[in-house]
Structure 1
Amino acid sequence: MSQRRIGLVGYGDVSIVHVGAIEAIDGLELVGIADTDPAARERAAAETSLPVHSSVEELIEALRPDAVHVTTPHDQHVDPSLAALERGVHVLQEKPLAHTLAEGERLVEALGSLRAARADGGAGAPKIGICFQNRYNRGSQELARLLAGGELGEMRGAWASVVWTRTAQYYEAKPWRGRWETAGGGLLINQAIHTLDLVQWLLGPVERTEGLVSQRKFAGVTEVEDTADLVLHHASGVTTTFYATLTAPAARPVEFEVETEKASLEVRSGGVGGLTVRWKDGRVDTFSDRVAAPGGRAYWGVSHEELIRDFHASLDDPEPFWIGPGEAMASLRILTDAYRASGVGS
C-alpha cells in the first residue's frame, strides 16, 4: 500500500479509535481534522497538533487528502461523505449509513450517479466503506465460514441480545443522541445496529420485522427508544428473536446464538469474546477473538483496526469495498421497519 494522507471529519468519541488505527497502520498519515464545533476543533488542535478546519470542503481544499474518515453525529454522515466523494476523495464512514432511510437512499443514489458519469464506468471512482467492524471479529468470521460450508445441516433459527447500560448523563453530554431529528433513533440505530448487521449478513436478508420498541427507563430524558423486542423474518424462512435494552445495571456481552441441525453456535462479543460450537455429537470447538485495542471501549468491539486496514488496502483494487452503502442499507431498513411498526420515528 502506498503512503496515504488521511483527513478526519468529526472529532467526537469514536474518533479516538480511528486516530489510533491510522497511527498504527503503516502507510497511513493523519494530516488534519475537520469539525463544525469550535470547541471540538480547539480540543483536536490541542490533542493532536494537526491543522483543524470547520468543514470537509475546507479540509480537502487545504490538505488534499487521499481519504477521509467520517466520524460525525448520525445526521451529519451523508453530506460530508458526498462532499468528499464528489471531490474524488475516498471515504470511510462510521455507522449508521444515515439517520433516516431517505438519507441512506440519497447517498446510495448519488454514489450510483457519480459512478455512472465516469468514462471508465465507475472503475476508478472513489470508494466508500461503512464501519461494521464486528464482521471482522474472529467469532463472526468463523461462524460465516461454517454457515457457508454446509456442514451444520439445516438452519433452525437464531437468537440475539444486546443488554447494555446507559445513564441520563450519557444523553445530556451529547444531546443529539436522544433526538429523532439528529440520531434517527436510539438503541437500535446507535448501539444494536452492529448486531442487526451481523444477523442479516450471516443468516440472510430480513423480509419482515415484527415487535415493539419502547422507553422503559429514559422517558423524559430522551425522545428515542431504550428497549426493543423483535422477531426478524428472514427470506430463507427462519426467524431471529432479537432483544436489546440499555436499562441493565451493567453491560453484558453481546450474544448471538444460531441453532442448526448438527450444532448450536454462540458468538459473544464485548471484551473477551469469540465463537463456541457445540456439535450434537458432543464435540466442542472454540475460536477466541482478538483483544480490544487500547484507548477504545470494549463494547465497540475489537476489530476497528482490522476493518480500517482492509479498507485502505482495498483502494488499489477496482471493485467497491465489500461493506459499502448498499450493504449498510440492510440494517437501516430493519430498524426503520421496527420503528414504523411501533409508530415512532420519521
Structure 2
Amino acid sequence: MPTAAVIGCGDVSSVHFGAIAKMGDVGLVAVCDSDASRLQAAQAAYGVAGYADHLEMLEAVRPDVVHICTPHHLHASLAADCLERGVNVIVEKPLAHTLEEGRRLVEASTRSTAKIAVCFQNRYNATSQAMRRLLDDGGLGQVLGASATVMWHRTAGYYRDRPWRGTWSEGGGGLMMNQAIHTVDLLQWLVGDVTKVQGHASTRSLAGVIEVEDTAEFIAGHANGATSVFYATLANAVNAPVTLDIVTEKATLSLRGDLTVNYADGTVETVPERTLESGGREYWGVSHELLIKDFYASLGDSMPFWISPAEAQKSLRIVKGIYAQSYPEMYGRIV
C-alpha cells in the first residue's frame, strides 16, 4: 500500500485529504505545517504524526507521495526537496511563484526518478475531456479562435484571512495566479501552444487591500494560427460560471458549466459536467479526486505524469508575460 503525507494543512488540503481517504488503498502517514494550530488540528483530525519541518518529516516517515498544498512561493522548493530524495509529488497550482523557481522545478523533475503532477485538475472535467476528444479527432476542422472569461468575486476578508494571497513575494501575483490560471491552462491546452501574448493586469476593486491584480485581459496568438481573447476579474457580484468558447470550421464549443456543441449543420450536442461530490469549495471544480487517483495509478510505470512541471510551465509563462507588460518597473521582482 502506498503511503502519503500532506504539506500545508490549510484550505485546499481538504480535497487532498478527502481523495486519499476515498481511495482506500493509500495510507496517510504524516502531516506537515509551519503553523502550530493548523498542524495540531490536522494531527487530531487524521490521527497521524505531525511535523513543522518538511525535511524532518521526509527523513522520519519516507512517504511514497507528498501532497503540497502550501502558499505559492513554497511550491517549487518543497517539491524539489522531495524529488531530490526520490519522493513522488502532487503539487497544487501554480507551478511556482516566479519563472526562475518554475525552471528550477522543471530541471529537478528531469533529474529525478520520482514522479510529479501539478494540479490542473480541470483538465479531468467531463466537459474538458469531451472538448479535447472533439478537437483531436479532426472532424471539426481547423480551430479559428477562442474566448474565455472568469467573472468572480473576492472580498477584502478573503485576503485578510490569508495575507500571502495578496502579495507578489508569496502569491507571485493575484487573480491570474490564484484563480484564473486554471482557465488559462485550459485555453492553451485545448486551442494550442501560445506563441505570443499581449495583455494588461491592474487592480480595479481591491486597491488598498492587495498589492497584486484583481482584473486582467489578454489576446494570445497560438502556434496553429488561432487567436484567443481572455478577460478575468474579481470585481463581479458573484462567482459566475467560467466561460470558454472555441470556434472551429464546423462547430462552436461553448462551455457554461455544461458543454454545448453547436454544429454548422444545426445539430446541437450537450455534454453535462459531473456534480461536486468531494469536499471543498465549488470553484475548485469536481476533478481533484480523478487527478489524484490517476497519479497513484501511474506510480507503477516509468512514464512522466502527463501534467508535468514542463506542461504547467506553459500557463505560468503566459501569466508572467502579462505581468511583464503591465508592471515593467517591477519586472525583476515579480517575474
TM category (shorter chain) comes to: over 0.9
Partner of 1:257: 245
Distance 1:146 1:199 in 2: 15
Distance 2:290 2:187 in 1: 20
Residue from 77, 80, 83 that aligns with 1:82: 80
Shift of 1:76: 0.7
CA deviations 1:256-308 (Å, max 9, x no partner) are 0011111111123xxxx231101111111111111112421111110000000
Partner of 2:45: 47
Partner of 1:311: 295
Q: Does 1:226 align with 2:214?
A: yes
Distance 2:104 2:180 in 1: 23
Partner of 2:55: 57
Kept in 2, the 8 Å contact 1:11–1:71? The answer is yes
Q: Does 1:321 align with 2:325?
A: no
Distance 2:167 2:41 in 1: 25
Q: Does 1:169 align with 2:157?
A: yes
Partner of 1:67: 65
Distance 2:125 2:37 in 1: 34
- Alpha-carbon RMSD: 1.1
Q: Does 1:187 align with 2:175?
A: yes
Distance 2:258 2:297 in 1: 25
Map of 1:1-346 to 2, 5 A cutoff? Answer: 3-112=1-110, 114-115=111-112, 125-268=113-256, 273-343=257-327, 345-346=334-335
Distance 2:53 2:189 in 1: 34
Kept in 1, the 8 Å contact 2:83–2:108? The answer is no
Distance 1:154 1:331 in 2: 23
Kept in 2, the 8 Å contact 1:164–1:245? The answer is yes
Distance 2:32 2:258 in 1: 36
Shift of 1:87: 1.3
Distance 1:207 1:262 in 2: 25
CA deviations 1:6-46 (Å, max 9, x no partner) are 00011010000000000001311111101112222122123
SS at match of 1:278: strand
CA deviations 1:112-145 (Å, max 9, x no partner) are 2x24xxxxxxxxx110010000000010001000
Kept in 2, the 8 Å contact 1:164–1:250? The answer is yes
Partner of 1:120: none
TM-score (norm 2): 0.96
Kept in 1, the 8 Å contact 2:95–2:313? The answer is yes
Distance 2:127 2:270 in 1: 9
Off by >4 Å, runs of 4+ in structure 1: none
Kept in 2, the 8 Å contact 1:56–1:84? The answer is no
Distance 1:212 1:41 in 2: 39
CA deviations 1:73-130 (Å, max 9, x no partner) are 0001111111111111100100000000110001112222x24xxxxxxxxx110010
SS at match of 2:200: strand
- Which stretch shifts more, 48-57 or 277-286? 48-57
- Which stretch shifts more, 31-40 or 136-145? 31-40
- Can you give the 5+ residue segments of structure 2 that lack an aligned partner in the other structure? none
Q: CA 1:26–1:46 in 2, change beyond 3 Å: closer, same or farther?
A: closer
SS at match of 2:127: helix
Distance 1:85 1:142 in 2: 33
Distance 2:216 2:72 in 1: 20
Q: What count of residue pairs does the alignment treat as equivalent? A: 330
Distance 1:71 1:105 in 2: 20
> AA paired with 1:79?
S
% of aligned pairs identical?
Answer: 51
CA deviations 1:180-209 (Å, max 9, x no partner) are 000000000100000011111111111111
TM-score (norm 1): 0.93
Distance 2:239 2:145 in 1: 25
Shift of 1:149: 0.7
Distance 1:182 1:77 in 2: 10
Kept in 2, the 8 Å contact 1:137–1:274? The answer is no
